[in-house]
Amino acid sequence: MSSLNPPPQPSPESDDQARAIEKWGTQRTTNLNHEIEASDLAVNEKNRVWWENLPMTYADWESQQREPVTAEDFDRTDGFYFGTNPYIREQVDFTSLAGKQVLEIGCGAGSAACAFARAGAHVTAVDITEQAVKLTRRNAELKGITNLEVLRMDAEKLDGLADGRFDFVYSWGVLHHSSNPERCYQQVARVMKPGGTGLIMVYHRNSMRYWLKGLYWLVVKGKVLQGHSFPSVQRFYTDGYYHKHYSASQCAESLHQAGLVTERTAVTHMSSRMIPFVPEGLRQWLKSRIGWLLVAHVRKSDS
Ligand SMILES: C[S@@+](CC[C@H](N)C(=O)[O-])C[C@H]1O[C@@H](n2cnc3c(N)ncnc32)[C@H](O)[C@@H]1O
């Protein structure tokens, strides 16, 4: 097993990268959405096909070479992952999970799964796409990690995973893309041990991004005339084919329905500036209130 290691440090380009990632609505993502929309696939198949075509690697959506290949490429991807998501670096205690059973749902290129494994956890990482499975396996292999199993699974039916198996379930920016996120929360509760904990990040409805981008696309771009609404117009500016945004109370209620207790929620944002030129103190304050990312820290009760 690899030695205990903290997560990789952010690369100096992380801020630029966060901006590139937030710059959804590129020609490529828009074309892909149109193609998928025209197909008669089931919703979760549309979700899967989107991510098979554009896996999450923290590379620019328009870039021709988006997939990490070498060990250096993966180190860069890991640096972008932890750099653009400062909340994970600051709030997830990787080393406390040594020896524990950890599940990551929606592992993307495997940056978090590898960090959990390097910290000594027994990790299972799942994703709905072959691409993510391939990338995560390669990331682990290049790092010499052996305590990580990677499986292709839909979070709505984690059939191969036993009830009560995991001490910690982690999912960052994934379940809101599934056609039925509430079904995913039920699966999280099922596979978590009694007394186990988890961290789930979904998109935040009371965020500046949701309302301003929504208004821009509805009014300035005229999508309201084609019958679009705030929820449906997200397709034009956000990643993935399908996404649900939650307020903190809606999220806690959905998790409660699934059998999970939300111990606390936090609002955060990527590393990039939400509004240019605002001073750092105000920037942090805004991020913690109207940021785009809503994080729920959950627990399954002992009984
Ligand atoms: C925005 S990416 C996030 C990836 C990674 N967590 C990260 O933050 O870099 C969303 C990921 O969720 C996966 N995904 C979407 N729906 C899923 C589902 N129903 N079950 C499992 N994985 C899913 C996608 O394939 C994709 O890899």
CATH classification of the domain holding 153? 3.40.50.150
Q: Is 120 exposed, middle or buried, given 0-12, 13-18 or 19+ CB atoms closer than 10 A?
A: buried
For residue 12, pLDDT over 90 is answered with no
Domain with 295, as residue range(s), is 14-299
The reply to whether 287 falls in a domain is: yes
How many distinct structural domains can be found in the chain? 1
Q: Which residues pair with 192 in a beta bridge?
A: 166
- The percentage of residues in the chain with a pLDDT greater than 70, rounded to a whole number, is 90
Distance between Cα 176 and ligand 1 center (Å): 9
Task: Quickly list H helices, 104-216.
Answer: 111-118, 130-143, 181-191, 208-215
- Which of 14, 56, 239, 242 has most ligand 1 atoms within 8 Å of its beta carbon, as the pocket-test mutant? 56
Distance between Cα 64 and ligand 1 center (Å): 21
Distance between Cα 108 and ligand 1 center (Å): 6
- Of 297, 269, 303, the C-alpha closest to 285 is 269
Establish whether residue 171 lines the binding site of ligand 1, counting it when its CB lies within 6 angstroms of any ligand atom. Answer: no
Rounded Cα distance, 52 and 287, in Å:
31
Establish whether residue 173 lines the binding site of ligand 1, counting it when its CB lies within 6 angstroms of any ligand atom. Answer: yes
Rounded Cα distance, 75 and 77, in Å:
5
The reply to whether 5 falls in a domain is: no
Strands 192-204 and 166-172: parallel
51 CA: nearest ligand 1 atom: 25
The reply to whether 50 falls in a domain is: yes
- The alpha carbon torsion through 225, 274, 49, 224 (nearest 10 deg) reads 0
256-301 residue pLDDT tens: 999 999 999 999 988 766 666 788 888 888 889 999 999 999 999 9
Rounded Cα distance, 89 and 86, in Å:
5
The reply to whether 8 falls in a domain is: no
The predicted model gives 183-206 an average pLDDT of 97
The reply to whether 7 falls in a domain is: no
Structure tokens at 221: 């771009």
The reply to whether 3 falls in a domain is: no
- The alpha carbon torsion through 289, 107, 101, 191 (nearest 10 deg) reads 80
Structure tokens at 116: 């959990």
Please check whether residue 173 is in contact with residue 106, taking contact to mean a CB–CB distance below 8 angstroms.
yes
Which element (helix H / strand E) includes 265? strand 261-268
Distance between Cα 70 and ligand 1 center (Å): 22
Q: Which residues pair with 245 in a beta bridge?
A: 203
The reply to whether 6 falls in a domain is: no
DSSP secondary structure string for all residues of 209-247: HHHHHHHIIIIIS-GGGGT--HHHHGGGTSSSS---EE-
Residue 179: band (very low, low, confident or very high) from pLDDT cuts 50, 70, 90: very high
Establish whether residue 49 lines the binding site of ligand 1, counting it when its CB lies within 6 angstroms of any ligand atom. Answer: no
Q: Which protein residue's CA is at the shortest distance from atom 27 of ligand 1?
A: 108
Establish whether residue 248 lines the binding site of ligand 1, counting it when its CB lies within 6 angstroms of any ligand atom. Answer: no
Q: Which protein residue's CA is at the shortest distance from atom 5 of ligand 1?
A: 108
The reply to whether 31 falls in a domain is: yes
For residue 54, pLDDT over 70 is answered with yes
The predicted model gives 40-67 an average pLDDT of 90
Establish whether residue 128 lines the binding site of ligand 1, counting it when its CB lies within 6 angstroms of any ligand atom. Answer: yes
Strands 245-246 and 192-204: parallel
Structure tokens at 200: 């789930």
Least confident of 35-39, 132-136, 227-231, 262-266: 35-39
3-state secondary structure labels for all residues of 93-121: CHHHHCCCEEEEECCCCCHHHHHHHHCCC
